[in-house]
Structure formats: structure tokens, C-alpha cells
Structure 1
Amino acid sequence: MDLLDHRILSACHAYGADPRVAGVARALSRAGEHGALWLVTGLVGAAVDGARRGAWLRGAALTGGAHLVSMGVKRVVRRQRPAHVEHLAPTFGPHSFPSSHATSAAAAALVYGALGAYAVPPLAAAMCLSRLVVGVHHPSDVVAGAALGVLTARLGSRWVGGRRA
């Protein structure tokens, strides 16, 4: 698995040599810190969709909760960030598994997608890929984070309301 992780990360990180790609990846990384983009998305949804305000707010809470769970797992697993590539974006800690950006992005994609925010899933996928382009996660970190986000969203979908995530 380590060799596959290494090869995939190296290939994705190579796209960061293009300053335009690196700039977009850095911007996505900044926007996703601590799930900020997804929390703001939920608050905006609540503000503009009064009929489903509660569902948007519960979706924001669920997305934030997914992020917190990933941070807890990260503190237990303590896998180090990739050392074989230059990190093109700052990080708030040395641990990489699972990717908290991927966790909150995947949870947001399912929860907000079910509420009709169809632009969120492709943006969430771009967020996940950005973590590889900037070189701060192993691909397995991103996959595990996304799986944790999906699991969290599925478990909380009835609580959020709207269509089943």
C-alpha cells in the first residue's frame, strides 16, 4: 500500500508544478480548514432556504461533527504526513490519517447534495484532490477521510432531513 500511496501522491503532486493548479489547490485547502467552507455553506443554505432552515443547520452541525471525529481519529492513529514531496500548503499538525478536509468535504457533499446544492459534490471532490496536489496527505488518508465523511453523513441523514444522503 505504501508504494501505491507514494506513486499516486507523486503523480498528483506533479500537477502542483503548474502555478495555476497550485493556486487553486492552495485556495481549496485554505477554504477547507476546520471544515470552514462547508460550515459556511450550511449557514448560507439556512439563510436563503427558510423552509428548510433546520435541515441546513443540522447539516452544518453534522458536517462539523464529521470533522471533529476525523480529528479524534487522527490523534489516535498519528500517521505522519508525506515526507517525499514538498508541502505546498501549511498544515496545523503533523498527522495525516485520515484527511479531515476529505471527511468534512464528503459529509458536505452527501448532506448538502441531498438538500439540492448540486455544486457541492464536485467542489468536495476537488477539495479531496487538492490535498494530494499540495502534498500534505497520502492518497489512503484522503480515501479514509472521505469514507468516514460518507459514513457520518449516512448515519446522520435522517436527523438532517431532506432526501436520504
Structure 2
Amino acid sequence: MVPAPAPGAPAEVAIINAVQRTIGGDPQVIAGARAMSHFGEHALGWIGIAAAGWLLDKPRRRQWAGVAVGAVGAHAASIVIKRIVRRPRPNDPSVQVNVSTPSKLSFPSSHATSTTAAAVLLGRLTGLPLPAVLVPPMLLSRVVLGVHYPTDVMAGSALGAASAAVVLAAEKRLDSDRTGRSRS
């Protein structure tokens, strides 16, 4: 039985509690969430996928490099914002923390940020609906694991989408410069 949130706990603790009560008690869900957590740590899984694409898909190496740059850049931006905002991770007796974290800072979720950036860029590269497939499970996993508030993952996802847009704009500019067309 999960204890009630402590008096004065942020309202979002109730959402974390509901998620953990609903699906967070399943050991397979926790194992899957932990696997996603380890894959997304410091954007390393996304860097690995981008590196494999870069090695195997010579004609689109620049785009594969863009995936890595987007994921790493998004992750770096989230770290800078975390250090400015300094929001602590959920710390309430009712929240079960199911994975270790490299810092005690919560906002925004770096996993959500790098995953969204990578999913948008990979989706654009492959033509697959990867943001719809990859982003929601990663966001939910951070709440299931008890290491982020819902607003942390939503803000991280928005930051990741903005980071991907920057990379896509840079690629468009490079393509325009390469073909000699004027930039519009």
C-alpha cells in the first residue's frame, strides 16, 4: 500500500502516485522503464543508434550526425536549464523511486529531451512515426520510476522538439547553401 502524499507535497505527486498505482506495480513495467532509463542516460543510446546509422548509411551520414548532434545538444540544453531552475526530484514518502539518477535535479527531464529530439530527427530521416512511438513510453517511464514530475517530462519533450527543429533548420540551410539557392 502506497502512503498518502505528505502535507504540502506538490499536486503532481498525486499524479505520480496514480501512475505508480496503476502500472508501476508490475515488475515487467518497472524492468522496461529501467531499461529505457539506462538506454537514455546521457543520450548514449541515441548516440549509439546515430553512430550505427552513420557507419551503415553512407549517403545520409550528415543526417545521422544530425541525430547525434540533436540528441546531445538537447541533453546539454536540459542540463543547463536544470542547473538554473534547480527543481528537486520528487521526494515524498508516497513516491517509490525505482532507479538511481546522476543528479538530484528534476526540471526538465533530460531523458524526455534527448528522446524527443532523437525521435523527431530519426522519424524525419526514416519516414517512420517515431515521435508517436518512442516519446510517450519514455515520458511515462520517468514518472513510473518516480524520478520526475509530469511537468518535467512535458517540458523536456517540448525542449527536445525545439532542439530537433534547430537541427532541421540547420540541415535545410546547409542543403540550400550546397545547391546554391538563396535562403528564404
Same fold by TM-score, threshold 0.5 exceeded? yes
Q: Alignment partner of 1:109: what SS?
A: helix
Aligned to 2:169: 158
Q: Distance in 1 between matches of 2:24 and 2:142?
A: 11
1:1-165 equivalences under 5 Å are 2-3=10-11, 5-14=12-21, 15-84=23-92, 85-116=95-126, 118=128, 120-121=130-131, 122-160=133-171
The one-letter amino acid of 1:42's match is A
TM-score, normalised via structure 2 length: 0.81
Would you say how many aligned residue pairs link Structure 1 and Structure 2?
159
Please report the RMSD computed on the Cα atoms of aligned residues, expressed in angstroms: 1.4
Q: Following TM superposition, by how much is the alpha carbon of 1:142 offset from its aligned partner in structure 2, in angstroms?
A: 0.3
Q: Alignment partner of 1:159: what SS?
A: helix
Aligned to 2:177: none
Q: Alignment partner of 1:115: what SS?
A: helix
1:95-119 deviations in whole A, cap 9, x for unaligned?
0000000000110111110001637
1:119-149 deviations in whole A, cap 9, x for unaligned?
7431232112110110000000000000000
Q: Distance in 2 between matches of 1:160 and 1:136?
A: 34
Divergent runs of 4+, >3 A = none
Q: Following TM superposition, by how much is the alpha carbon of 1:11 offset from its aligned partner in structure 2, in angstroms?
A: 1.6
8 Å contact kept, 1:108–1:124: no
Q: Following TM superposition, by how much is the alpha carbon of 1:44 offset from its aligned partner in structure 2, in angstroms?
A: 1.4
Q: Following TM superposition, by how much is the alpha carbon of 1:58 offset from its aligned partner in structure 2, in angstroms?
A: 2.0
Structure 1 runs not aligned, ≥5 long: none
Q: Alignment partner of 1:57: what SS?
A: helix
The one-letter amino acid of 1:83's match is N
The one-letter amino acid of 1:69's match is A
8 Å contact kept, 2:139–2:153: yes
Greater alpha carbon shift after TM alignment, 20-29 vs 121-130: 121-130
Structure 2 runs not aligned, ≥5 long: 1-9, 173-184
8 Å contact kept, 1:58–1:159: no
Identity across the alignment (%)? 42
